[in-house]
Amino acid sequence: MSTVISVKNLKKHYKVYKKEPGLSGSLKALFSRTYETVKAVDDISFEIEQGELIGFIGPNGAGKTTTLKVLSGLLYPTSGEVSVLGYNPWDRKPAFQKQFSLVMGQKNQLWWDLPAIESFLLNKAIYEIPDKQYNDTVDKLVQLLDVKDVLKVQVRKLSLGQRMKCELIAALLHNPKVLFLDEPTIGLDVVMQKVMRDFIRDYNKEFGATIILTSHYMDDVKELCKRVIIIDHGKKLFDGVLQNIIDKYAKNKILSVVLSTETTKKELEKIGEVKSYDYPQATILVPRKEASKRAAALLEKFSVADINIEEPPIEAIIRDVFQNKG
Amino acid sequence: MMKISIQRMVEYRTDFVLWSAISLFWTLFALLFYDIVFLQTPTIAGWSKPQVYLLIGVYMIVDSATWGIFWRSIKTYVDSIFDGKLDFVLVQPIDSQFQLSVKYASFTQVPRLCIGIFLALKYLPPISLFQFVIFLFLMVIVLLIIYLLWFLTATITFWVEKLENITEIVPSLRRIWNFPSDVYSGPLGTLLTVILPLALISTTPTRFLLHDYAWNEVITLVVFATILFIITRLFFLYSLKRYSSVGS
């Protein structure tokens, strides 16, 4: 597999103006302003191979969208080297732009007051898509996403889910090799989220497209991405297989217990941190390395009907990573 | 994009009709002004009434074309820098400046354009094919100048992020070329006919229709348009580096 995306020591800093609150602050700002440098992306490096579907996660303001925008050529980097499909994105060469697509959740490129099909036709002209390819792609995507009935309705009259589906179609008409998806499922209901995930997975498999997905929904990441990059305050905290996050960052394991004989919470605390206790069920956190030993102690000291040793949910681990910064 | 603009226009028929009516009203009011002036004087800066009306016809053609093609696009361009919608323009494989300049062309100025053409034809003396070709060439040049000035001032928005009235600067300058350039004299005349030859925008094309071949003015306009084109293009490309988009 070849490297499609290469990012080396990327930095993107902004100068932002900080205003004091209130009217006096506004008046003062007329004459004198205080500026601060925000390091939206602060020296990150990574490489992505062809066909990978990467999850790019981090708390709000981490630098995920900024990174995607640099990769798309929208933002000029402060420093560092970026290469996508062998091109410098900032050059914004048409040959490069015809090979990638950027989809941003709840933001639309479709013409607001025209039916989606008109935007598709415009994109066909802009991307110079041959008639046959256009017709085949539209037919296939419309069928996959089940939007045949809404293509001729004004975009502004569509629901969010319908709009996002049409946005995806518009973004994929030219069969891009690289897809940047910035929170594509945000605001969608659970059914629509599943539809979008299935579609993204199928598209990645069928076309071998390289996809970077940012999302705050861990289900998106869990279902779609083997590899995850975690970013916070512009810095890369983790880059690897999703499972390795658990191995690296999960400090505890969870003992889920069903007791045969009632006991007190204080007694259970001798085993570990009691997260919840509502007889007969108890949830106890124990250090990872001592999980087996503590489980054995639990079985010895208490009357247990059932016990499970589980990994903490990935969401909790990620939350800990964000709060503790690894 | 022209097809898209027409389609958008007819989606909102009432809006189209209302704007067309408003532009017609402006035009008739402007003509009334000149009628009143010519009641008091037989000439304006040496230009007779038929000559002035020919110039007004040319002015209306230029004005309606620039308003129709560029106004809404330039306004949307400025807004898109502030609200981040410029993102979707910059990722597409089509020249960004071109797309930003013509994406929202409007046809509400068509009635005004028709009046301009009618006036020009009514007061047009017999002309040769050569004069007509030069006239067309000059019309392209002056349209280009107005567009470049408009785009250049709009690009300043990258540097200050929010500048809503920046798009009103060039429209407010239109009054300069609403009159024959001969009304300007002294240093002001030099400024508006040589350094910043805005006063020539309607006058020079009209002169050619009146058999007054002011080649020096043609050269001035062409040189000015060329310099302005280079400056506008370079400033736009340089300003893009300052674009910061908006958050997700």
- Model confidence at B72: pLDDT above 50: yes
- Model confidence at A32: pLDDT above 80: no
**With an 8 Å Cβ cutoff, is B245 touching chain A?**
yes
Q: Is residue A323 part of a domain?
A: no
- Model confidence at B223: pLDDT above 70: yes
- Domain edge (last residue) among A203, A227, A247: A247
- Secondary structure of A290-317 as H, E, C letters: HHHHHHHHHHHHCCEEEEEEECCCHHHH
Share of chain A above pLDDT 70, in %: 98
| Per-residue pLDDT band at A322 (split at 50, 70, 90) | confident
pLDDT at A185: 87
pLDDT at A247: 75
Q: Look at B7 and A183 and tell me if their CB atoms are within 8 Å.
A: no
Q: Which domain holds residue A276?
A: 251-310
- Cα A227 from Cα A54, distance rounded (Å): 5
- Domain edge (last residue) among A211, A227, A247: A247
Residue A295 tokens, joined: 């489980």
Same domain, A214 and A271: no
| Per-residue pLDDT band at B6 (split at 50, 70, 90) | low
Q: Look at B91 and A73 and tell me if their CB atoms are within 8 Å.
A: yes
Q: Is residue A325 part of a domain?
A: no
Task: List, for residues B110-125, the tens digit of each pLDDT value.
Answer: 888 988 999 999 999 9
Q: Which of A72, A74, A126 sits opposite B94 (nearest CB)?
A: A126
Q: Look at B87 and A65 and tell me if their CB atoms are within 8 Å.
A: no
Query: Mean pLDDT score of chain A, rounded to an integer?
Result: 89
Same domain, A233 and A305: no
Same domain, A276 and A239: no
Residues of A in contact with B91 (CB under 8 A): 72-74, 97, 100-102
| Per-residue pLDDT band at A181 (split at 50, 70, 90) | very high
pLDDT at A1: 66
Q: Is residue A28 part of a domain?
A: yes
ipTM: 0.79
Helix (H) or strand (E) holding A284: strand A281-287
Same domain, A51 and A164: yes
pLDDT at B13: 66
Range among A20-29, A190-199, B189-198 with highest mean pLDDT value: B189-198
Query: Mean pLDDT score of chain B, rounded to an integer?
Result: 89
pLDDT at A124: 95
A75: three-class secondary structure by DSSP: coil
- Residue A44: CATH number of its domain: 3.40.50.300
**With an 8 Å Cβ cutoff, is B244 touching chain A?**
yes
In terms of CA atoms, which chain A residue is nearest residue B237? A91
Question: Which carries the bigger pLDDT value, residue B224 or residue A31?
Answer: B224
Beta partners for A6?
A47, A83
Task: List, for residues A245-265, the tens digit of each pLDDT value.
Answer: 877 777 888 999 999 999 999
Same domain, A119 and A174: yes
Q: Give the count of beta carbons closer than 10 Å to the beta carbon of residue B241.
A: 11
Domain boundaries of chain B, sorted by first residue = 2-242
In terms of CA atoms, which chain A residue is nearest residue B99? A126
Same domain, A262 and A172: no
Q: Which of A61, A102, A114 sits opposite B11 (nearest CB)?
A: A114
- Cα A44 from Cα A242, distance rounded (Å): 19
Which residues, at least 6 apart from B110, have a Cβ–Cβ distance to it below 8 Å? Answer: B20, B64, B68
Task: List, for residues A85-131, the tens digit of each pLDDT value.
Answer: 999 999 999 999 999 999 998 788 898 888 999 999 999 999 999 99
Q: Look at A75 and B243 and tell me if their CB atoms are within 8 Å.
A: yes
Handedness of CA A231, A235, A239, A245 (dihedral sign): negative
Low-confidence winner among A320-324, B53-57, B182-186 (lowest mean pLDDT): A320-324
**With an 8 Å Cβ cutoff, is B7 touching chain A?**
yes
Q: Is residue A320 part of a domain?
A: no
Handedness of CA B32, B37, B42, B46 (dihedral sign): negative
**With an 8 Å Cβ cutoff, is B36 touching chain A?**
no
CB crowding A156-178: b at 16 or more within 10 Å, else e: eebeebbbbbbbbbbbbbbbbbb
Pairing of strands A210-214, A178-182: parallel
Same domain, A272 and A145: no
- Cα A169 from Cα A213, distance rounded (Å): 17
- Model confidence at B231: pLDDT above 90: yes
Residues of B in contact with A115 (CB under 8 A): none
Q: Which of A14, A113, A126 sits opposite B92 (nearest CB)?
A: A126
Q: Is residue A317 part of a domain?
A: no
Backbone angles phi, psi at A130, to 5 degrees: -60, 155
pLDDT at A161: 87
| Per-residue pLDDT band at A288 (split at 50, 70, 90) | confident
Same domain, A298 and A161: no
Task: List, for residues A262-284, the tens digit of each pLDDT value.
Answer: 999 999 999 999 989 998 999 99
- Cα B108 from Cα B9, distance rounded (Å): 8
Q: Is residue A83 part of a domain?
A: yes
Same domain, A232 and A269: no
Task: List, for residues B134-161, the tens digit of each pLDDT value.
Answer: 999 999 999 999 999 999 999 999 988 6
Residues A154-170 have a mean pLDDT of 90
Range among A311-325, B5-19, B98-112 with highest mean pLDDT value: B98-112
Mutation pick from A69, A157, A175, A217 vs chain B, by most beta carbons of B within 10 Å, is: A69
Q: Look at A69 and B11 and tell me if their CB atoms are within 8 Å.
A: no
- Secondary structure of B51-85 as H, E, C letters: HHHHHHHHHHHHHHHHHHHHHHHHHHHHHHHHHCC
pLDDT at A326: 43
Residues A128-149 have a mean pLDDT of 92
Which residues, at least 6 apart from A275, have a Cβ–Cβ distance to it below 8 Å? Answer: A254, A283, A284, A285
Q: Look at A183 and B243 and tell me if their CB atoms are within 8 Å.
A: no
Share of chain B above pLDDT 90, in %: 63
For residue A249, the distance in angstroms to the closest alpha carbon of chain B comes to 27
- Model confidence at B173: pLDDT above 70: yes
Residues of B in contact with A101 (CB under 8 A): 91
How many structural domains does chain A have? 2
- Cα A119 from Cα A111, distance rounded (Å): 6
Contact A129, A70 (CB under 8 A): no
